[in-house]
């Protein structure tokens, strides 16, 4: 990357870090969602949102211009089941879920305040999820690092973009049961043949 591109990246990173700090003190940040894979949970990073704390307050909006995730990914092998839990008791009026394969070069901020910020506009695969507070997604993804971007909206409450980070490893090698069976039968026949010849 040339020095001009690096400077722009640093400036954008500082701006987003400032937005993280401001969002943490505004008191209007929406509650986070939770993603569980293989019994391990991850609390979402919070990105663009417009949120109303209660009926008396106006809706406050914050733009981060990025997809924000925790710094450390959930680890899994494919296929796997991802369990999404939204923080509001009522089911959302809108819910979108996309899986985006990323590399470290797509990160704007690396591990700031325990979070990473990823470039907005990265293309991913849309995954259909029901309009429910909790849902399971059975996923089969090639090995790699993935950002899960979740958009949820509740009428009268607001909308929020959640981000999760997942690392998918190579699937475990399947044992070749057919080969082992043939090998066992061959060994058995060999033993029988030797015993018959000795008689």
Residue 13 lies in a domain: yes
* Residue pLDDT, tens place only, 162-197: 999 999 998 876 545 566 666 667 776 776 766 666
SS3 96: strand
**Torsion angle, CA of 168/125/148/33, rounded to 10 degrees?**
-130
Residue 88 lies in a domain: yes
Q: What are phi and psi of 65, to 5 degrees?
A: 55, 35
Residue 187 lies in a domain: no
Domain extent for 8: 3-173
Residue 131 lies in a domain: yes
Mean pLDDT for back-to-back runs of 10 residues, the chain (199 residues): 50 45 53 97 96 81 93 97 96 97 91 86 93 96 97 95 97 61 68 67
Residue 126 lies in a domain: yes
The CATH number assigned to the domain holding 118 equals 2.60.40.1220
- Domains of the chain: total: 1
Q: How far apart are CA 88 and CA 160, in angstroms?
A: 12
Q: Which of 100, 83, 107 is nearest to 33 (CA)?
A: 83
Residue 185 lies in a domain: no
Residue 195 lies in a domain: no
Exposure b/e, 110-123, CB count within 10 A at least 16 = b:
eebeebbbbbeeee
Residue 125 lies in a domain: yes
Instruction: Provide, for the chain, the percentages of residues in helix, strand and coil under a 3-state DSSP scheme, each rounded to the nearest 5.
Output: 25, 40, 35
Q: What is the pTM of this model?
A: 0.74
| C-beta of residue 181 within 8 angstroms of C-beta of residue 187 | no
């Amino acid at each position: 990357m040339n020095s001009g591109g690096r400077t722009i990246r640093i400036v954008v990173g500082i701006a987003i870090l400032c937005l993280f700090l401001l969002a943490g003190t505004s008191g209007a940040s929406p509650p986070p969602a939770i993603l569980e894979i293989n019994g391990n949970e991850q609390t979402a990073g919070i990105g663009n949102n417009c949120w109303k704390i209660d009926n008396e307050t106006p809706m406050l909006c914050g733009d981060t211009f990025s997809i924000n995730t925790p710094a450390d990914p959930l680890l899994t092998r494919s296929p796997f089941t991802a369990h999404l839990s939204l923080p509001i008791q009522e089911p959302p009026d809108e819910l979108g879920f996309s899986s985006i394969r990323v590399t470290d070069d797509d990160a704007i901020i690396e591990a700031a305040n325990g979070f990473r910020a990823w470039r907005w506009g990265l293309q991913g695969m849309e995954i259909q999820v029901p309009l429910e507070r909790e849902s399971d997604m059975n996923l089969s993804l090639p090995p790699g690092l993935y950002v899960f971007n979740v958009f949820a909206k509740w009428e009268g409450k607001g909308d929020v973009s959640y981000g999760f980070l997942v690392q998918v490893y190579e699937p475990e090698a399947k044992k070749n049961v057919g080969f082992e069976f043939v090998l066992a039968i061959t060994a058995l026949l060999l033993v029988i043949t030797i015993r018959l010849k000795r008689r």
